[in-house]
Structure 1
Amino acid sequence: MMLTGMHVAIIGGDARQLEVIRKLTELDAKLSLVGFDQLAHNFTGATKMYIDEIDFSDIDAIILPVHGTNLEGKIDTVFSNEKIFITEDLLLKTPKHCVIYSGISNSYLDELIKKVNRKYVQLFERDDVAIYNSIPTAEGTIMMVIQHTDFTIHGSRIAVLGLGRVGMTVARTFAALGAKVKVGARRSEHLARITEMGLEPFPLHDLEKEVRDIDVCINTIPTMIVTASVISKMPAHTLIIDLASKPGGTDFRYAEKRGIKALLAPGLPGVVAPKTAGQIIANVLSQLLFYDLTKRKGNA
Structure 2
Amino acid sequence: MLTGIHVAFIGGDARQLEVIKRCIQLDASVTLVGFDNLESNFTGATKKPLTCDVLKDVDALILPIVGTDDQGYVESIFCSKQLQLLDEHVASLPSHCVVYTGMAKPYLKKLLASTRLPLVELLDRDDVAIYNSIPTVEGALMMAIQHTDITIHGSQSIVLGLGRTGLSMARALHALGARVRVGARRQEHLARIYEMGLTPFHISEVRQQVTNADFIFNTIPQLLLTAEVIAQMPQSAFILDLASKPGGTDFRYAERRGIKALLAPGLPGIVAPKTAGQILAQTLSRLIADQRKAPGGDAT
- The TM-score, its normalising length taken from structure 2, stands at 0.97
% same residue: 56
Distance 1:107 1:18 in 2: 26
Alpha-carbon contact 1:33-1:46 (below 8 Å) kept: yes
Distance 1:284 1:164 in 2: 20
| Corresponding position: 1:19 with 2:18 | yes
**Partner of 1:55: helix, strand, or coil?**
helix
**Partner of 2:217: helix, strand, or coil?**
strand
Q: Where in structure 2 are the equivalents of 1:6-45 lying within 5 Å?
A: 6-45=5-44
Shift in Å, 1:44:
2.0
Deviates more, 1:105-114 or 1:270-279: 105-114
Equivalent residue letter for 1:274 = P
Partner of 2:179 in structure 1?
180
Equivalent residue letter for 1:239 = F
TM-superposition CA deviations, 1:47-84 (whole Å, max 9, x none): 11111275322111110001111111001111111221
Deviates more, 1:40-49 or 1:57-66: 40-49
- The TM-score, its normalising length taken from structure 1, stands at 0.97
Alpha-carbon contact 2:154-2:179 (below 8 Å) kept: yes
Partner of 2:144 in structure 1?
145
Distance 2:297 2:161 in 1: 42
**Partner of 1:37: helix, strand, or coil?**
coil
Partner of 2:69 in structure 1?
70
Change (3 A) 1:297 1:262: closer
| Corresponding position: 1:228 with 2:206 | no
Partner of 1:285 in structure 2?
284
Note the residue ranges of structure 2 that are not aligned, 5 or more in a row.
none
Shift in Å, 1:38:
1.0
Shift in Å, 1:227:
0.7
Alpha-carbon contact 2:96-2:296 (below 8 Å) kept: no
Partner of 1:104 in structure 2?
103
**Partner of 1:51: helix, strand, or coil?**
coil
Q: Where in structure 2 are the equivalents of 1:247-258 lying within 5 Å?
A: 247-258=246-257
Distance 1:36 1:123 in 2: 22
Distance 1:86 1:296 in 2: 28
Equivalent residue letter for 1:35 = G
Alpha-carbon contact 1:100-1:121 (below 8 Å) kept: yes
Tell me the matched-pair count.
298
Shift in Å, 1:297:
8.8
**Partner of 2:64: helix, strand, or coil?**
coil
Distance 1:140 1:254 in 2: 25
Distance 1:204 1:32 in 2: 47
Change (3 A) 1:298 1:92: closer
Alpha-carbon contact 2:34-2:79 (below 8 Å) kept: yes
